[in-house]
Amino acid sequence: MDDKRILHGPPIPNEVEIGTGNTPVSELILKYAENNLDSLYMIDASSGKKLNIRTAIEESKKLAAALMSLGCKPGHRVGIICENRNEYFIIFLATLLTGATVILYSHLYNQSELEHTLSITKPFLVFVNNKTSEELDKVKHKCRSYKHVVHLDATVTNAAFLNYENLVKNGQSRLSNLVQPKIEADQTALILFSSGSTGLPKAVMLSNKHLLYLTNCYRYSHIVGNLPSIVTLLVLPFFHSYGFMILLSSFINGQTIISLKKFEKQMFLSAIQRYKVNSLPVVPSLMSFLANDPLVDKYDLSSVKNIICAAAPLSVSLEGSVKSKLKLEKILKGYTMTEMMSTCNNQSCEDKPGSIGRLFYGMSAKVVDSETGQILGANQVGELCFRGIFMMKGYYDDEQGTRELIDEDGWLHSGDVGYYDKDGNLFLVDRVKDIMKYKGFQVAPAELESHLLKHEAVADAAVVGIPDEEAGEVPKAYVVKRKEVTEKELLDYVADNVAPYKKLRGGVTFVHQIPRNASGKILRRILRTRVDSKL
């Protein structure tokens, strides 16, 4: 009876099958890219600098040869800490060619966050730019596992850094020594970071086998659309699983990315108009901008034919507003986690309002009662659980965290509440887990609470997400005073200790006590129902 209540995606197509999984994913990426050598891969919207597929491949091979000459090999980890730029995918591919593991760090990390993530993963070598090199310098005395730092900005002459351009040039003479090392299916190829439920970033390991499936999937399904010529505007951070997904898919399919380092209204809109962008991967906050900002009406966005929205729940009303405004038949929606990069979308099924689509091939899902563990049926609301080919290998150096997320039967417990209908369409209702989504970025209440509790004037604290039309959610704090302190003092204190997207934009409310259950767990649902009210 229970088995009938488990949803299954379609069988894995022959085009997506990977055999033993021992083929290096770099080999597969190059195989697909060879079909589009003269295609324009990326244009930096700020500088106008262009990169085609052929140049990217040539440069990645030279860089790989140079990295090998520095001792980079399987078992090593190579980190990228920089904003969106043309060299990003080149570094990713070059590292894979050496057999080492790629780590994508957030360039938005502050000092403590960078120190934490570097300490976990211990890279052999890191790539930085002007801004992130300064942050790296602040933490080098505490986490100096790396042997080399490569600076991406050509103007830097500091002897402490290797220059990227010089490194690539030096690799030219070493190309004859470039031999792809043997790769095992379960070997870790890529590490991304997820906030997890504890508030500290967790290092998510994706194996070579996992990336082989993703690469074939993206080649086969055309996730950014199947128009004759795809031009995608990408403002999502490349280090984010969503942004990385677009980077990989565009490269293997010979599609063009217009890249932005950060979201600026006029730059975003003018890039769409200038480059005739037809594909837009966005998060709900960008959907809100497209639907409601009067500046949008001053630009020609008629080239846009595909919008992909993920990273946070999208309301039915906001979806309808954008579809109507841009005259779109359908908005592609999906559900992913860093720990499970491809789960479901509505690309090839009926577009039901509010649905996040149906399962990908090779994936299974069930809905369980979060208290009893009982498997629920159609239209019954419970926790969404998933299992299949796109799940992570585990958290790096964190077996306990992995066991807490994935049970002994291999089911990943998402912490999200949802249901499915009789046709197998999945719906996301709410999040059980406490992670907030601010403009697609994960914000963990526990992390913000830990900072507040370090303040001498704070006796107790709790943080919840409150709805925000533009951002999705913003963090709001409830604080019990130990001694006199102002809201502004606490807002400034937190802002000084976290990345910009984690600021307490919902404000601070002072209360007499924080509601907790018998075991001491914060009862956030009570706080959410009494927003801006004194307890």
Active site residues: 219, 240, 338, 437, 521
The answer to whether 247 and 51 are in contact (CB under 8 A) is: no
Q: Which residues contact 86 (CB under 8 A, 6 or more apart)?
A: 42, 44, 49, 51, 259
Tokens standing for 333?
A: 């929606």
The answer to whether 199 and 34 are in contact (CB under 8 A) is: no
Altogether, the residues listed in the chain come to a count of 535
285 CB-contact burial (10 Å; exposed 0-12 / middle 13-18 / buried 19+): buried
CA 509 to chain centre: 31
Nearest to 125 by CA among 75, 67, 78, 64: 78
Task: State whether the Cα torsion 454-458-461-465 is positive or negative.
Answer: negative
Tokens standing for 407?
A: 């049970």
Across the chain, how many H-helices and E-strands are there?
15, 27
The answer to whether 424 and 359 are in contact (CB under 8 A) is: yes
> How many angstroms separate the CA atoms of 150 and 250, rounded?
26
How far, in Å, are 8, 272, 297, 479 from residue 303 at the CA level?
36, 8, 14, 48
